[in-house]
Amino acid sequence: MRLAVSELQQEYPGQFELVRLDFDKTEDRQAAETYGALFHPAFIFIDRRGTIHARIIGGTTKARLAQRLQEIIAEP
């Protein structure tokens, strides 16, 4: 998945920010609980206003991640 996410960052430069959480750190664990990312991998799609648009928990494909990104980017 890291390769797929890296490729998406190159394909959509500046259009999304990737935040990785370290479950060994208390503050990251709290953020994970807040956003419902209790298992990994977990992808939480949050727009600039802080609205959660989608959650993908577990393995997925680059195409599915790209689809979600496109949906969020296209919103006004």
Q: How many residues does the chain have?
A: 76
The answer to whether the CB of 68 falls within 8 A of the CB of 50 is no
- pLDDT for res 64: 94
- pLDDT for res 11: 92
Which residues does residue 44 pair with via DSSP β-bridges, in sequence order? 55
The closest alpha carbon to 67, from 45, 39, 48, belongs to: 45
Give the CATH number of the domain where residue 41 resides.
Answer: 3.40.30.10
Residue 46 has pLDDT above 80, yes or no: yes
**Does the N-terminal peptide bond of residue 41 adopt cis geometry, omega within 30 degrees of 0?**
yes
Residue 14's domain spans which residues?
A: 2-74
Q: Please state, rounded to an integer, the average pLDDT across all residues of the chain.
A: 87
pTM as predicted: 0.77
The closest alpha carbon to 66, from 35, 43, 50, 48, belongs to: 43
Residue 76 has pLDDT above 80, yes or no: no
Domain count, the chain: 1
C-alpha span between 48 and 24 (Å, rounded): 27
